[in-house]
Amino acid sequence: MNALFNHVLLAYDGSPDSQKALEIAEGITRQSDARLYLVFVEGHDPYNHPAPYDNEALNDPNQNFPNISQMNSYEDVERLADSVMEQAKSEVSKDIDVRFDVLTGPPERRIIQYSEENDIDLIVIGNRGLGGVKRFVMGSISHKVSNDAHCPVLVTK
């Protein structure tokens, strides 16, 4: 019997939703004997300044992340990426075949591009719960990925 999924991509940002997505991605990866690709996307504007993050976990003083409101350089964003990836590495089960990558650029485009480049069968992504006018104007990353991806997308809550 062939596995349903061979390559599972998890978009991870340290938020509670992405932590829940990690649990689900691990279960799918185990059942399918698949490889997990865990990515964090550093969002940058066209002038290479750090993009503002709308993520409660990244602004939570109980988390071990740099203070988002004080980020004003590429080095600050690099420290954030390192912190998020260290958290992810500590949370991933040791029996999972996993590849960790930090991507740079618009998150929805980079996630989709990465999934195509790595023959991803399933994308797992948390729903960060943008609401109201903000969702209408910007849309959410998970919504954009699920609309434009070449493969199935599982959005977790």
Distances (CA, A) of 156 to 25, 53, 128, 141, 146: 10, 19, 9, 13, 12
Please count the other Cβ atoms lying within 10 Å of the Cβ belonging to residue 115.
23
Give the pLDDT of residue 74: 64
Select from 83, 52, 50 the least CA-distant residue to 66.
Answer: 83
- d(Cα 84, Cα 12) in Å, to the nearest integer? 8
What are residue 103's phi and psi, to 5 degrees? -110, 155
Give the pLDDT of residue 2: 64
Q: What DSSP element (H or E) covers 36?
A: strand 35-42
Mean pLDDT for the stretch of residues 146-153: 96
Q: Please, which pLDDT band fits residue 137 given cuts at 50, 70 and 90?
A: very low
pLDDT exceeding 70 applies to what percent of the chain? 72
Does residue 117 have a pLDDT over 70? yes
- Give the number of C-alpha atoms closer than 13 A to the C-alpha of residue 88, restricted to the C-beta side: 29
Domains of the chain: 7-156 (3.40.50.620)
Contact status, residue 53 vs residue 77, Cβ threshold 8 Å = no
- Bin 91: left if φ > 0, else alpha if -120 < ψ < 50, else beta: alpha
User: Could you tell me the two tokens for 94?
Assistant: 């040791």
Mean predicted lDDT score pLDDT of the chain:
79
15-41 residue pLDDT tens? 888 899 999 999 999 999 999 999 999
42-81 residue pLDDT tens? 875 444 444 444 444 444 555 554 444 445 556 777 788 8
Does residue 103 have a pLDDT over 90? yes
Does residue 9 have a pLDDT over 80? yes
Higher pLDDT, 117 or 127: 117
- d(Cα 77, Cα 125) in Å, to the nearest integer? 21
What are residue 88's phi and psi, to 5 degrees? -60, -45
Rg, the chain, Cα only: 15
Give the pLDDT of residue 114: 98
